[in-house]
Amino acid sequence: MELTTVWFILIAVLWIGYFTLEGFDFGVGMLLPVLAKDDTERRVMINTIGPVWDGNEVWLLVAGGATFAAFPEWYATLFSGFYLPLLLILVALIVRGLAFEYRAKRPDDRWRARWDLALIVGSLVPAVLWGVAFGNILRGVPIDADHEYVGGLLDLVNGYALLGGVTTLLLFLTHGAIFVALKTDGEIRHRARRLAGSVGIGSAVAAVAFLAWTQVDTGTTGSAVAFVAAALALVAGLVCARAGREGWAFAGTFVAIAAAVAGLFLALFPDVMPTTLADGASLTTANAAATTYTLKIMTAVAVIFTPVVLLYQGWTYWVFRRRISVQHIPQPQPQTQPETATR
């Protein structure tokens, strides 16, 4: 197998890891005002992802870095053509990270409400725009013979890409609701389980429509198998959620997202960014790749460090595997007034 193909597969794996892990992070953030009835329950929800959200974002950083090093032409065209959507995603992720860090800095309801809003919006924007971005990558964009993006912002707004955004939004909401049900106990657990069932129906309809559209346009035999596996896993996950088997339900949505993303990359290969111009040139794994020497060095580094990263992240999830509930959240201490000096 050629190294360009190996690195296309590795980048696909990195995106699979990002969407399956950060996907439930986004879902929890978006569901904050829906599932939590008071500040204590909001703290419960935030604590379910508090130990892992930043580690989950590492998958995005590595995917971006791997694309830059392995396929520099792809990276350059992607970031020049999708500059505004990717900038909005970056700003949303920064605001979201600040919300995690600053929310508890002041015992003020309005202060917390503002940071809660930042967390919600910072989760919503990437959840939608990642689907729109991948939809455009699969559909193709105006790329000329010099591999330059020659379209505008409106070229990225089309029915297929918007359906992709709706699909990722609903899938992440379902994934997040099931994760909350898996990681919490008490009333919030039951609310999350009920919500996962209702939102899951919408996500299944959107996912089937989007994946079917993809298969008709650019699908292969491999992508068809992956899409069918994704649909079956999502249905199985929803059935398990309804039965109160949150662990199996989470495994179902996890596999569904992983199989769907794998199918999208199978439908894309060997292109990495197809063109919609008759006189343009699509970017492929061959013409967008770095030198063979660069790919060899990167492969050696990946073989050494990837298992270490996977073991560490797996250990993190194992350490924080317990359920939490409102009983585990310490109540805020009343503020004491400073004593007035007396003579």
Q: What Cα–Cα distance (Å) separates residue 135 from each residue in 213, 267, 335?
A: 11, 12, 51
> How far is the C-alpha of 16 from the C-alpha of 115, rounded, in Å?
29
- Does residue 140 belong to any structural domain of this protein? yes
pLDDT of 1 above 90: no
Task: Kindly report, residue by residue over 172-219, the tens digit of the pLDDT.
Answer: 999 999 999 999 998 999 999 999 989 999 999 999 999 999 999 999
pLDDT of 293 above 60: yes
Strands 271-273 and 283-284: antiparallel
| CATH number of the domain that residue 71 is part of | 1.20.1630
Domain of 204 in residue numbering reads as 3-274+282-324
> Tell me, what's the pLDDT at 261?
97
pLDDT confidence of 105, banded at 50, 70, 90? confident
pLDDT of 342 above 50: no
CA dihedral 248, 252, 253, 256 (to 10 degrees): 170
Across the chain, mean pLDDT equals 91
Average pLDDT over residues 102-127: 92
pLDDT confidence of 266, banded at 50, 70, 90? very high
> Tell me, what's the pLDDT at 343?
38
> How far is the C-alpha of 49 from the C-alpha of 124, rounded, in Å?
16
Quote the number of domains for the chain.
1
DSSP string, 275-338: B--TT---EETTTT---HHHHHHHHHHHHHHHHHHHHHHHHHHHHT-S-B-GGGSPPPPPPPPP
pLDDT confidence of 71, banded at 50, 70, 90? very high
> Tell me, what's the pLDDT at 341?
42
Average pLDDT over residues 102-113: 88
pLDDT confidence of 153, banded at 50, 70, 90? confident
> How far is the C-alpha of 39 from the C-alpha of 48, rounded, in Å?
14
pLDDT of 311 above 50: yes
- Does residue 341 belong to any structural domain of this protein? no
- Does residue 98 belong to any structural domain of this protein? yes
Distance of CA 257 to the CA centre of its chain: 9
Please, which residues bridge with residue 273 across strands? 283
pLDDT of 87 above 90: yes
> How far is the C-alpha of 289 from the C-alpha of 296, rounded, in Å?
12
Is pLDDT larger for residue 18 or for residue 329?
18
pLDDT of 338 above 70: no
Average pLDDT over residues 247-273: 95
CA dihedral 176, 182, 185, 190 (to 10 degrees): 60
> Tell me, what's the pLDDT at 334?
53
Smallest CA-to-CA distance from 288 within 273, 266, 269, 267 is with 273
Q: Tell me which amino acid residue 146 is.
A: D
pLDDT of 50 above 60: yes
- Does residue 335 belong to any structural domain of this protein? no
Smallest CA-to-CA distance from 181 within 29, 22, 324, 21 is with 324
